Structure 1
Amino acid sequence: MVRVKLWGSLRNLVDGQAVIEVEASNFKELLDALETQYPALKPQIERGVSFAVDGVIYREAWFTPINEENEIVLLPYMVGG
């Protein structure tokens, strides 16, 4: 199980939880598990999310490996300029 910290407005979609746990070994598996376990996250995931692993932010890096040792943060895509 990996622990995922949720950033900002994502917490509102999981009853205010700051950290959730799911079974996943890469970013794609993480997103699939989140959509299954927390259906309210699905629309945001479809709009786009980024994730940080140990402080490095990734976007659309589907097969980036993750494990329970990593610090994982899920963020909505940032837009603007």
Structure 2
Amino acid sequence: MAKVRLAPVLRSFAGGSKIVNAQGDTLGALLTNLYQSYPSLKEQIQPEQELSRFVNVYVDDQDVRYLQGLETPVSESATVTLLPAMAGGR
């Protein structure tokens, strides 16, 4: 199973866990599996068919927007990082 690292702002949707496990051959399949265990994460990560534009998703430190999006392959040893975009300033 791949490891899914959750940013602090998402941990409350996964019982406070920093890292959870999920499985799937592609990012889309892995996220579907993740939502089965933590349904409230779906609204934060993928409220529509596509990923939220306000969440950065990385597979082994590579931004999936520059790979194959939800079709990005995910190996059993992969680390997927879910990192909501942060805004700041005045």
**TM-score normalised to structure 1 length:** 0.81
Q: Which of 60, 64, 72 is matched with 1:64 structurally?
A: 72
The percentage of aligned residue pairs carrying the same residue is 32
Q: Deviations over 1:37-76 (max 9, x none)?
A: 1111121121723311221112470110011222221122
The CA distance in 2 between the partners of 1:31 and 1:69, in whole Å, is: 16
Provide the aligned length of Structure 1 versus Structure 2: 80
**Matched residue SS, 1:16:** coil
Aligned to 1:75: 83
Q: Mark the runs of 5 or more structure 2 residues left unpaired by the alignment.
A: none
Q: Determine which structure has more spread, i.e. the larger CA radius of gyration.
A: 2
The CA distance in 2 between the partners of 1:33 and 1:50, in whole Å, is: 19
The answer on 1:50 being equivalent to 2:56 is yes
Residue 79 of structure 1: how far off its partner (Å): 5.8
The CA distance in 2 between the partners of 1:79 and 1:6, in whole Å, is: 14
Q: Mark the runs of 5 or more structure 1 residues left unpaired by the alignment.
A: none
Aligned to 2:36: 36
**Greater mean deviation of Cα atoms: 50-59 or 19-28:** 50-59
